[in-house]
Amino acid sequence: MPDAMHDPLPTRRALIALAVCLLLLLAWDALGLDLAVMRQVGDASGFALREAWVTKQLIHEGGRLVSYAAMVLIVAANVSPRVLPLLSRRERRWWLVVTLVALACISLLKRASLSSCPWDLQAFGGMAEYVSHWRLGVRDGGPGHCFPSGHASAAFAYLAGGWALARAYPRAARAWLVAVVGLGAVYGVGQMLRGAHYPSHTLWTGWICWAVTLGAQRWLRAAASTPPTNN
């Protein structure tokens, strides 16, 4: 099938890496490393870089603009075949749908989360107490809705481009993945320095978007290889 989704990385290795990263994330949470890291960049007076131009304007606001530009490209590729003409219709639609699903997953999890951001904690000048985001149903005294990192999803939700581009534009696919992971890391560090998110918030966003993308890719390959039935 010429338009079946290709892997920018071997699928088995990707699944193993996904599982290993899950174990590392669970270990990070179990050890309570989030708060230890945040104490290195903030104190009782708050976070010195919360309103800094680099972290707030360049990384936070600028990151949103980059996300919007990426979405415009994906939508344009679905509207006009002249944009990325070597992509099949299936690849274009898959790219758009999976990106939107990844964004929606992070958004819905944030809405349901009771975990507040680091800058809301008493230790950093706020009113909340630290409560692990895995203590479901337990409020920390703050506004909540901070887990996982929505800003990091402005990069990680676009991982699907690496798979969508892999067959027709393999070099662009690799570059896309490097850019997405790199920007996600930058966004995460920026938000951590501002006190907006714990490191694990960014890491979980990346893992969830990766799992959604890989699962959708596996489903599409299975669907494409299933012969049609005669009713």
Domain boundaries, the chain: 11-219
CB crowding 6-37: b at 16 or more within 10 Å, else e: bbbeeeeebeeeeeeeeeeeeebbeeeebeee
Of 56, 30, 191, the C-alpha closest to 118 is: 191
pLDDT in tens, the chain (231 residues): 344 456 555 567 888 999 999 999 999 999 989 999 999 999 999 999 999 999 999 999 999 999 999 999 999 999 998 999 999 999 999 999 999 999 999 999 999 999 999 999 999 999 999 998 888 889 999 999 999 999 999 999 999 999 999 999 999 999 999 999 999 999 999 999 999 999 999 999 999 999 999 999 887 766 555 544 433
Burial class, 48, CB count within 10 angstroms (exposed 0-12 / middle 13-18 / buried 19+): middle
pTM: 0.90
Question: What's at 207, amino acid-wise?
Answer: W
3-state secondary structure of 165: coil
